[in-house]
């Protein structure tokens, strides 16, 4: 199994190292400790959000709403702590529950009402951000709590706390997908939903679980975002859904579903954040950064489709060769 995992991560890891070398060659500040430390903190939110997006992609769905979920939940979380007097631990549990609820809402509409996940989450992208602007008449909630910042900027044995969150969540996601029946069912549903249904898997329940987990990771991302800026704002999280999807696709997750490795998602997240960091260091305008990010997603999807086509042709050719070799 160790060789299998190494083989699966070799491609995305090599691409990430190549990108890092290119960025380091174009700017002198990339390898500065301050920049690398900032890079670690930046990647944590994107990578955590990408866990949920990747699980949804494994089922053959897509989630376009986590960025807007983050905006809504940072506002609710900051309002609860500062304006409503909700105890800090209760506010955290409440935010996690809201994330699970929003994810389950997406899942119910996609799985049980059979509305395409693209449409459901596109509507969620608009609705959740609209709800965020309805709080406090769209005004941000600043200086929410002195307890927030240590959650993001704290260190344990000199290591930033977000790295521990990241490692723990990816370890849980890896074990869940690889060693539990529910996790294996997620791959089965994405690979062939009809075959999964015939083998006794409740396809709708699996899709509901995937979107619910995506809502949970969005809630964790929202708490970290609020902790990073000690505030909540309806303007937070813009474009994060694309970064999360890009991390999954660059990491090798197939948009057709059923194929990929969650460990590669964190490598994909690091790659996309390194690219964005390099563009910032080189003073590339935001509009051009969006174009480049879109081009990277397009390239990754193109490579995925090319690999799928090669695999399909191989399954057609190999049986013919095998039959000819039989005397």
**Would you say 128 and 72 are in contact if contact means Cβ atoms under 8 Å apart?**
yes
- Rounded to whole angstroms, what are the CA distances from 236 to 4, 74, 153, 266, 274? 39, 8, 18, 22, 20
Question: Is the pLDDT assigned to residue 315 strictly greater than 70?
Answer: no
- In a 3-state reduction of DSSP, which class is residue 261? coil
What are all long-range contacts of 288-297, with beta carbons under 8 Å and residues at least 24 apart? 290/239, 293/242, 293/243, 293/246, 294/242, 296/246, 296/250, 296/272, 297/242, 297/245, 297/246, 297/249, 297/250
**Would you say 53 and 241 are in contact if contact means Cβ atoms under 8 Å apart?**
yes
Q: For 282, list phi and psi in degrees, rounded to 5.
A: -95, 10
d(CA 217, CA 234): 18
Question: Is the pLDDT assigned to residue 326 strictly greater than 70?
Answer: no
Residue 320 pLDDT: 54
Q: Supply 71's token pair.
A: 């905006």
Q: pLDDT of 263-281, one tens digit each?
A: 999 999 999 999 989 888 8
Residues 6 or more apart from 44 whose CB is under 8 A from it? 160, 162, 163, 165, 166, 224
Residue 6 pLDDT: 72
Assign 105 a pLDDT band (cuts: 50, 70, 90): very high
- Strands 231-232 and 155-156, by their bridges, are unpaired
Residues 6 or more apart from 85 whose CB is under 8 A from it? none
**Mean pLDDT across the chain:** 89
- In a 3-state reduction of DSSP, which class is residue 155? strand
Assign 1 a pLDDT band (cuts: 50, 70, 90): low
Whether the model clears a pTM of 0.75, i.e. scores above it, the answer is: yes
d(CA 50, CA 231): 22
d(CA 68, CA 71): 5
Q: pLDDT of 10-64, one tens digit each?
A: 888 888 899 899 899 988 888 888 888 888 888 999 999 999 999 999 999 999 9
């Amino acid at each position: 199994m160790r060789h299998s995992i190494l083989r699966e991560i070799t491609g995305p890891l090599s691409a990430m190292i190549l990108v890092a070398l290119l960025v380091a060659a174009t700017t002198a500040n990339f390898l500065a400790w301050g920049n690398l430390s900032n890079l670690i903190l930046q990647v944590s939110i994107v990578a955590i959000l990408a866990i949920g997006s990747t699980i949804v992609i494994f089922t053959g769905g897509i989630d376009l709403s986590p960025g807007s979920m983050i905006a809504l939940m940072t506002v609710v979380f900051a309002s609860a702590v500062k304006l409503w007097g909700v105890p800090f631990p209760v506010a955290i549990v409440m935010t996690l529950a809201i994330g699970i609820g929003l994810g389950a809402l997406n899942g119910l509409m996609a799985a049980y009402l059979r509305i395409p996940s693209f449409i459901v989450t596109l509507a969620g992208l608009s609705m959740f951000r609209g709800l965020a602007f309805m709080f406090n008449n769209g005004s941000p909630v600043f200086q929410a709590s002195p307890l927030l910042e240590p959650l993001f900027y704290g260190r344990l044995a000199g290591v930033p706390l977000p790295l521990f969150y990241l490692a723990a969540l990816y370890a849980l996601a890896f074990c869940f997908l690889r060693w539990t029946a529910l996790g294996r069912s997620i791959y089965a549903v994405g690979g062939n939903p009809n075959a999964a249904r015939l083998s006794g898997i409740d396809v709708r329940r699996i899709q509901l679980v995937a979107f619910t987990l995506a809502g949970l990771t969005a809630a964790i991302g929202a708490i970290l975002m609020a902790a990073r800026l000690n505030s909540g704002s309806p303007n937070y999280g813009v474009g994060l859904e694309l970064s999360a999807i890009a991390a999954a696709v660059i990491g090798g997750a197939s948009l057709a579903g059923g194929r990929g490795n969650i460990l590669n998602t964190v490598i994909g997240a690091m790659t996309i954040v390194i690219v964005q960091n390099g563009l910032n260091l080189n003073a590339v305008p935001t509009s051009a950064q969006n174009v480049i990010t879109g081009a990277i997603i397009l390239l990754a999807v193109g490579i995925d489709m090319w690999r799928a086509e090669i695999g399909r042709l191989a399954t057609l050719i190999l049986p013919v060769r095998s039959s000819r070799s039989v005397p």
